[in-house]
C-alpha cells in the first residue's frame, strides 16, 4: 500500500513496514529540489485494479501556467518506475484540491481553478486523458472541460466495466451526475449532465463553511469538502461531501456529512441519502470505499469545543437498513489544538489527509486513512516551527463485522 503527503511518497507492506520512501519531487519530477515542500501540495494516489497500476497527482502552482503533476506506474509495483506527465492549467489560474478517477479507457483529473491575482473562483477544471497512452508512456491526448463553480465535483473510481467516466457534483439538496463519453482526440468527446433532487434534511444553505471550534483554544479550523472522490461499483454510484447543518437543539450551524448512493440505468435514482449530523460537533472531510459485497466504510474528521481534531470511522453493512450508518469509531484521538497558520494568511486549514480505498486482492477488506492533531514534531519550515499533526492508515475486514 502507498500514501502521499506534501513532502513524501511512502510504500508499506500490509503489516505497516515501510519499504520505500522518496520525496514528491523525485516521484513526480515536478518542482525544484530547492522548493519549500508545501509548493507541491494536495497529493492524490489511487490504484486501478483492472490494469494493476498506480496513479498519483499533485498540484504545483509556482509556475504560470500552474500544472498538475501526474505519475503513472509502469507496472503493479508501487516502488518501481513511474511515467511522468504535466497537465497545464490556463495561464493566470492556479489550482487546488486535484482528484483522480478512471474508467475502462480514461484517466481523469479534476481540480478547483482560482484566478492567480484576485483568488476568484474560476470553476472546476476536468482533464480527460486516453488511458492506453498514459499506460504506455506515450504523449497523452487529453480533452478539457470546465464546470462553473458552486458545486463540489468528484470524479469516480470505476470498479466495474464501463467506458464512460462518471462524476458527481453536490449542490444544496441536489446532486448532479456528469457522464463523459467518447475518446479524447476523436472529436466526439461529450459531457452530459442530469440533476437529481435530494431530501430536505438538516442541511442549510450557507455561502461558506462555519469556523470549526477546537478544544482548549479560541483558534478555529478552516475545512473544505475534503471528499476523496466518488466510487462506481456493482452498478451503484457512491459519493460523500461536507455540508452545513443545523442540528435539532443545537446552538449554531456546524459542518456535517452527506453520503449518497445512486442507481438506475443513468445513476439518477437515489437509493440512499444519508446525513450525518452531530449536535455540538463538527464532522467533515469524508472519504469512502465500497467492498465487493457492497459494505461501506467512511473515514472522516471531527472537532468541537471538547474534541481536538480527530480521526473517526463509520460505515454500514450492505444488509443494514437503508439510510443508516453504524455507530462511529474513534480511530485516533487528537491530542492538542492545531495551531499552524497557512503560509502568511491567518488561516488554519485542516483535513486534506483523509482517504479510503478498496483492497484489490481481498474482496472484504477496505483501507482508510485520516489526520489527527499531535504534539509538535518535525523540522522548521514555511508553516512554522514544527508539525503538530499525524496520519494513520487502518485496514477493515468487513467480513468480521456482524
pLDDT, tens digit (0-9, with 9 covering 90-100), for 307-326: 999 999 999 999 999 999 99
Residue 181 has pLDDT above 50, yes or no: yes
For position 62, what pLDDT does the model report? Answer: 86
Question: pTM for the complete prediction?
Answer: 0.93
For position 188, what pLDDT does the model report? Answer: 81
pLDDT, tens digit (0-9, with 9 covering 90-100), for 222-251: 898 776 789 999 999 999 999 999 998 899
Instruction: Indicate the pLDDT class of residue 110, thresholds 50, 70 and 90.
Output: very high
Among 210-214, 230-234, 335-339, 392-396, name the one with the lowest average pLDDT: 335-339
CB 307 within 8 A of CB 335: no
**E strand or H helix that includes residue 315:** strand 307-316
Q: Where are the alpha helices (DSSP H) in 107-257?
A: 131-135
For position 329, what pLDDT does the model report? Answer: 96
Residues 45 and 71: their CA atoms lie apart, in Å, by: 9
Residue 360 has pLDDT above 50, yes or no: yes
Residues 300 and 136: their CA atoms lie apart, in Å, by: 36
For position 32, what pLDDT does the model report? Answer: 61
| Cell numbers describing residue 180 | 463523459
Residues 124 and 330: their CA atoms lie apart, in Å, by: 33
| Cell numbers describing residue 352 | 486534506
Instruction: Indicate the pLDDT class of residue 383, thresholds 50, 70 and 90.
Output: very low
* Across 143-151, average pLDDT: 85
pLDDT, tens digit (0-9, with 9 covering 90-100), for 46-66: 999 999 999 999 999 988 899
Phi, psi values for residue 66, rounded to 5°: -65, 160
Among 149-153, 193-197, 229-233, name the one with the lowest average pLDDT: 149-153
Residue 368 has pLDDT above 90, yes or no: yes
Q: What is the mean pLDDT of the chain?
A: 90
* Across 332-348, average pLDDT: 73
For position 37, what pLDDT does the model report? Answer: 46
Query: What percent of the chain has pLDDT above 70?
Result: 93
Amino acid at each position: 500500500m502507498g500514501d502521499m503527503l506534501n513532502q513524501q511518497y511512502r510504500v508499506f507492506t500490509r503489516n505497516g513496514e515501510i519499504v520505500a520512501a522518496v520525496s514528491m519531487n523525485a516521484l513526480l519530477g515536478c518542482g525544484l529540489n530547492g522548493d519549500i515542500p508545501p509548493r507541491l501540495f494536495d497529493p492524490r494516489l489511487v490504484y486501478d485494479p483492472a490494469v494493476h497500476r498506480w496513479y498519483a497527482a499533485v498540484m504545483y502552482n509556482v509556475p504560470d501556467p500552474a500544472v498538475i503533476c501526474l505519475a503513472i506506474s509502469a507496472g503493479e509495483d508501487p516502488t518501481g518506475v513511474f511515467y511522468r506527465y504535466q497537465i497545464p492549467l490556463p495561464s493566470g489560474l492556479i489550482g487546488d484540491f486535484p482528484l483522480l478517477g478512471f474508467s475502462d479507457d480514461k484517466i481523469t483529473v479534476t481540480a478547483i481553478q482560482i484566478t492567480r491575482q484576485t483568488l476568484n473562483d474560476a470553476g472546476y477544471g476536468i482533464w480527460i486523458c486516453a488511458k492506453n497512452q498514459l499506460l504506455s508512456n506515450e504523449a497523452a491526448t487529453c480533452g478539457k472541460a470546465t464546470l462553473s463553480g458552486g458545486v463540489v465535483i468528484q470524479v469516480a473510481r470505476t470498479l466495474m466495466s464501463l467506458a464512460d467516466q462518471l462524476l458527481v457534483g453536490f449542490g444544496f439538496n441536489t446532486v448532479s451526475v456528469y457522464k463523459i463519453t467518447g475518446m479524447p482526440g476523436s472529436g466526439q468527446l461529450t459531457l452530459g449532465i442530469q440533476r437529481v433532487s435530494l431530501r430536505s434534511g438538516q442541511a442549510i444553505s450557507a455561502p461558506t463553511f462555519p469556523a470549526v471550534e477546537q478544544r482548549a483554544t479560541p483558534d478555529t479550523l478552516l475545512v473544505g469538502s475534503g471528499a476523496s472522490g466518488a466510487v462506481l461499483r456493482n452498478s451503484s454510484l457512491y459519493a460523500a461531501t461536507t455540508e452545513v447543518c443545523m442540528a435539532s437543539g443545537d446552538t449554531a450551524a456546524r459542518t456535517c456529512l452527506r453520503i449518497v448512493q445512486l442507481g438506475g440505468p443513468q445513476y439518477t435514482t437515489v437509493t440512499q441519502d444519508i446525513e450525518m449530523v452531530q449536535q455540538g460537533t463538527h464532522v467533515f472531510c469524508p472519504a469512502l470505499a465500497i467492498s465487493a459485497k457492497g459494505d461501506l466504510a467512511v473515514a472522516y474528521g471531527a472537532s468541537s469545543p471538547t474534541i481536538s481534531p480527530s480521526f473517526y470511522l463509520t460505515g454500514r453493512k450492505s444488509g443494514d437498513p437503508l439510510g443508516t450508518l453504524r455507530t462511529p469509531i474513534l480511530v485516533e484521538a487528537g491530542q492538542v489544538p492545531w495551531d499552524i497558520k497557512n503560509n502568511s494568511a491567518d488561516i488554519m486549514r485542516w483535513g486534506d489527509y483523509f482517504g479510503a480505498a478498496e483492497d484489490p486482492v481481498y474482496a472484504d477488506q477496505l483501507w482508510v486513512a485520516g489526520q489527527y492533531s499531535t504534539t509538535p514534531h518535525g523540522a522548521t519550515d514555511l508553516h512554522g516551527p514544527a508539525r503538530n499533526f499525524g496520519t494513520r492508515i487502518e485496514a477493515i475486514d468487513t467480513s468480521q463485522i456482524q
